[in-house]
Structure 1
Amino acid sequence: MKVRTCLRRHALLLATVLAVVLGFTIGLLCRRLKPPPDVIVLISFPGEMFLRMLKMLILPLVVSSIITGLANVNSRSAGKIGLYTIIYYIGTTVLATIIGLILVLTIRPGDVANDNVMAVRSSGDAPSASARDVFLDLLRNVFPENIVQASFQTSGTVYVQKLTEVSLQENSSAANASSSNDTLSDPSRKGAWSPKSVYRPGMNTIGIICYFVFFGVILGRLGNKGKVVLRFFTVVNDITIRMVLLILWYSPIGIMFLIMGNVLKVENLDDTAKQLAIYIITALTGLGIHILIVLPLLHLALTRKNPYRIIKGIPQAVLMVFATASSSATLPLTIRCCEENLKINTAITRFVLPIGATINMDGTAIFQVISAVYIAQIRRIPLHIIEVIVLSLCTVLGSVGVAGVPNSAIMVLMVILSSVGLPVDDIYILMAVDWFLARMQAMVNITGDCFAASLLDHFFPYTAVEQKVVDDARITEDEDFHSVTNV
C-alpha cells in the first residue's frame, strides 16, 4: 500500500523523468536514419503544441497572480518585499557574473579550442544594438505606451541605413529598374546607420508586471471598494491553476517529442561536442557552482535552514524547464511546486516568481560572460581591465532585460560582444550547443527564483499577510488538486 500510494502521488514526476530518458534515447537512435527536415517538424509537433499550451496561460497567470498576491499584502510589507526582491535578484546576478568571469579567465577554454570552430566573418551587415540601446529598450518596456499592445509586442532597437539626398535624386531620375538597383546596392551612395525603436513580436512581460504591480498595490489599499475586483482575479487565478494541472497530464508526451526534435535538429553532434568540450565544461561548472554551492550557502547564512530542500521540492519544474528551455513557460508549474511542496505563502510566490521569471537570470549571466570571453580568447583578442568591467556591467544589465524564452540569451550576447568591440559574427560558433546550454541556464534560473521565494517567505511570514476577502473566494489547494486528479 505504501508503494502504491507513493507511485500514485509521484506518477506525474515519474512519467516526466521517463519522457526525458525516452526522448534522448529515441532521438539518438533516430539520428542514424537521418530523417529529412519535414519529418523532424512532424516529430516536434506534439511538443510544439505542449509549449503553446503553456505559453497560452502565461498572461492570465502572471496578471492574476501578481494582483491577488499584492492585494493581500499590507502596504508596508508590499514595499519591503518588492525592494528586497529586486536587491536579491540583482545581487545574485552580480555573483553569477563574477563566478563566470573567474572560471573563464582561469580555465581559458578559448586557448584550447579547435581551429575548426572558427566562423567565417561577414561584412556589410547592420551594426548590433549597443549597451545604451539595451538600457533604453529596457526602460521603454518597463513603461509601455499601450498595455494591450504589451501583451503581444515588445520594444527593440534596430539600425537602418538611410539614403543620402544625392542617391535619392539619382534613384528618382533613373530610367530603368537596373540602374535603380545598382544605385541602391552601391554602399558609397548610402548614409550612416542610425538607431530606430521598433515593435517586435513577443509579450512584454516586464511591462505587464510593472503595470499590474501598481494595480495590485492600489487595489489592496481600496479595502471594501475593491472586494469585487479582487474576487474576480482570485477566481481567474484558481481557474488558470486548474487548467495548468490538466495540461500537465499531457506534459510527458510533449516533453518526449520536444527533446526528440531538438536532438534530431543538431548537425554533427559528435564533432560539435569535441570542438566545444572545454567551453561546455566551463559553462556547466559555473552553473553548478552557482546553484549547488553559492545560492545554498547564501540561503543557509540568511535563514539557518536546509537549502537543499528547495532543490528537492521542485524536480518536476526543473524537468519541465529542461524540456521547454523557457522559465516563463514553466512559471505555472514553478508556482505550484513552491506552494505545494515547499509550503511557501501564496502571496509571496505569486509576486516573487513572476518577477523572477523576467529579471532573475543568473544562469544566463554566467553563460553570457563565459561566451563573450571565450570568443575573445579564440580570436586572440586581449581584454583589458576596463573592458572586463564594461563586459561585466553589460552582462548584468543584459541578463536582467533578457526574456525568459528559448534562444533569447544569444540575442543579448550579441549586444554584449559589440559593447566591448568583439566580433559579433563569431556568435555562430556557439549556436550548435545553445540548445543544450539554454536548458541548463533555464534550470539554474528557476531554481534561483525558488530560493528567492523561500528566503522572502522566511523574512515575511504568514502573519505579515492580510487575507482580506480572498478566503471566501479561493478554492483550497487540496480541493483543487483532488478534483483535477479525479477528472
Structure 2
Amino acid sequence: MSTQKTQSTASRIWARWMAVPLWMQILIGMILGILVGAALGEQATSLKPIGSLFVNTIQMLIVPLVFCSLIVGVTSMQDTSKMGRIGFKSFVFYLATTSIAITIGLMVGGLLQPGVGLNMVHDGATQAVKEAPSVVDTLINIVPTNPVAALASGKILQVIVFAVALGISLVLIGERGKPAIAVFESLAEAMFKLTDMVMKLAPYGVFGLMAWVAGEYGLDMLMPLIKVVIAVYIGCALHILGFYSLILTTVAKLNPIKFFKGIRNAMAVAFTTSSSAGTLPASMKCANESLGINKKISSFVLPLGTTINMDGTALYQGVTALFVAQAFGIDLTWVEYVTIILTATLASIGTAGVPGAGLVMLTLVLTTVGLPLEGVAIIAGIDRVLDMARTAVNVSGDLVATTVIAKSEGELDEVQYNASTDKTA
C-alpha cells in the first residue's frame, strides 16, 4: 500500500514538474546546479557527464537542422515571382540589419567584457582557435569542394553556402523543384520536433554543467552572468533606438517616434511571449492600422521577416560568443570575428521559428570558431531573460523593414502613419 502511495505521489510531482514552463525548468535547473556545485565542491565534477550528454545532443542537431531549415527558408522566397522586387529588398534588408546587429553585439561584449575574470579552463578550446586562417583562405574555404564531406565533418559555413545555393536552384527550376522542396520541408519539420524533444533535456543538462562549473570555479561566475544580461539589453536598446531610428530618419524620411508609438502593442506581445511567430498577428495589426502600410506589403514582408530576420538573436550571439571566449581565456582574431558575423547572418535564414533557436544558433556560432560548448549550458539558465529582449528586437526589425519597403514602393499612407499612431492605446 505504501509503495502505491509513493508511486502516486511521485506521479503527481512529475506531472506538476512537466506542467512548469520549460524556461522556468531551465532556471530551476541552473539554480539547483549552482547550489549543489557550491555544496559538493570538486566532487560536483562527477555530474559533468549529464551536461556533456546534453551538449552532445545539441551538437547532433546542428548540421541537419541548419541544412534543412536554410533550404526551406530560401525556397519560401519563390513567392517573389509575383513580388520579385519586394522580395529582393526584404532579403537584402534583413541580412544587412542582421550583420549590423551581431556587430553591435560584438562591440558591446568587447566593451563590457562580461566573461573576464571567470578563468575557466577547457583543454581543447585554445588549441582549436589558436591558429586562425587568413581572410583569403577563409573566403576560399567557404565553398565546399565536396558538400557531403562538409555535411559529415560539420563545416558549418560550407554547409550554409551549399544549402543556400541548393535552395536557390530549387526555386529556379520551378515545378520540378517542388517535390524536393516538399521533402526538405518535411525533414525541417522533423528536425524542429527533434529540437523540441532535445530542449526538454535542457534543465537536466544545465543542472549537470552548472553544478560542475560552481564546484570547479565557485560562485564567482554569477556576476559575469548578470553582466551578460546587461550587455544584451544595452545592445538591444542601441539597435532599436539608435540603428532603427537612423534607418527610419535617413532612408524612409519618417519620424521614428511615431513609428515606436505605432508598434508598442506588438513590442509588448513580443517581449512577454518571446515568440516572433506568436507576435505576427499583433505585428500585422500595427502595420495596417497604426503605420498605414498596405496589406499587400505587410502580408508578404512580415511573415518573411518572421522566417529569416533575427537581428535580436544575432546581437545575442555576438555578446554571448564573446562571453564564452572571455570566460575560457580565448583571444579571438579579427578573422574569427568576421567568421562569427558571417555565420550568424547566414544562419539566420529559416531558423527563426525553431524552438530554442537562440541556443541552437549559439552552439552553431561557437562550433564555427572552435569555442567550448559548455558555454551554451551556462547561458541557458538566463536564456529566457535574454530571449524577451532579442524577440522584441526581431519583431521591431520586421516592422522597420516593412515600413521602409512600403515607403519605397509608395504603399505607405503617411497621413495615417502620422495621425493614427498618436491614438494607439
Fold in common (TM above 0.5): yes
Residue 372 of structure 1: how far off its partner (Å): 1.1
d(CA) in 2 for partners of 1:463, 1:432: 42
1:103 aligned partner: 108
d(CA) in 1 for partners of 2:315, 2:123: 26
Say if 2:309 and 2:352, in contact at 8 Å, map to a contact too.
no
Say if 2:280 and 2:303, in contact at 8 Å, map to a contact too.
yes
1:452 aligned partner: 401
Runs of 4 or more above 3 Å deviation: 40-45, 117-122, 126-129, 134-153, 271-275
1:54 aligned partner: none
Q: Does 1:83 align with 2:117?
A: no
**Structure ID, larger Rg:** 1
1:43 to 1:145, Cα distance in 2 relative to 1, 3 A: same
Secondary structure at 1:110 match in 2? coil
Say if 1:93 and 1:396, in contact at 8 Å, map to a contact too.
yes
d(CA) in 1 for partners of 2:290, 2:222: 37
Say if 1:326 and 1:406, in contact at 8 Å, map to a contact too.
no
Indicate the structure with greater helix content: 2
Amino acid at match of 2:188: T
Indicate the structure with greater strand content: 1
Q: Does 1:435 align with 2:412?
A: no
Matches within 5 A, 1:473-484: none
Say if 1:325 and 1:405, in contact at 8 Å, map to a contact too.
no
1:381 aligned partner: 330
Matches within 5 A, 1:266-345: 274-345=223-294
Give TM-score, length-normalised by structure 1.
0.54
1:200 aligned partner: 191
Secondary structure at 1:109 match in 2? coil
Residue-by-residue CA offset, 1:368-399 (whole Å, 9 max, x unaligned): 12111111111001111222222221121122
The more displaced of 290-299 and 306-315 is 306-315
d(CA) in 2 for partners of 1:84, 1:112: 44
Residue-by-residue CA offset, 1:406-425 (whole Å, 9 max, x unaligned): 41121122121121111123
Amino acid at match of 1:153: L
Matches within 5 A, 1:68-467: 78-113=83-118, 130-139=156-165, 143=170, 145-149=179-183, 152-154=186-188, 200-201=191-192, 274-462=223-411
Q: What is the RMSD of the two structures over their aligned residues, measured on CA atoms?
A: 3.8
Residue 141 of structure 1: how far off its partner (Å): 5.8
**Identity within the alignment, %:** 29
Q: Does 1:39 align with 2:30?
A: no
Amino acid at match of 1:421: G
- Structure 2: gaps spanning 5 or more residues: 1-11, 23-72, 126-151, 171-177, 195-205, 211-218, 414-425
Residue 323 of structure 1: how far off its partner (Å): 3.3
1:256 aligned partner: none
Say if 1:129 and 1:415, in contact at 8 Å, map to a contact too.
no
How many residues matched? 298
1:442 to 1:273, Cα distance in 2 relative to 1, 3 A: farther
1:341 to 1:421, Cα distance in 2 relative to 1, 3 A: same
Say if 1:417 and 1:424, in contact at 8 Å, map to a contact too.
yes
d(CA) in 1 for partners of 2:325, 2:249: 37
d(CA) in 1 for partners of 2:18, 2:270: 21
Residue 133 of structure 1: how far off its partner (Å): 2.4
Residue-by-residue CA offset, 1:246-286 (whole Å, 9 max, x unaligned): xxxxxxxxxxxxxxxxxxxx989xx8864501111111111
Secondary structure at 2:330 match in 1? coil
Amino acid at match of 1:429: I
- Structure 1: gaps spanning 5 or more residues: 1-34, 46-61, 156-198, 204-265, 465-487
Secondary structure at 2:349 match in 1? helix
Matches within 5 A, 1:23-38: 36=13, 38=15
Residue 146 of structure 1: how far off its partner (Å): 4.3
Residue 148 of structure 1: how far off its partner (Å): 4.6
Residue 70 of structure 1: how far off its partner (Å): 7.1
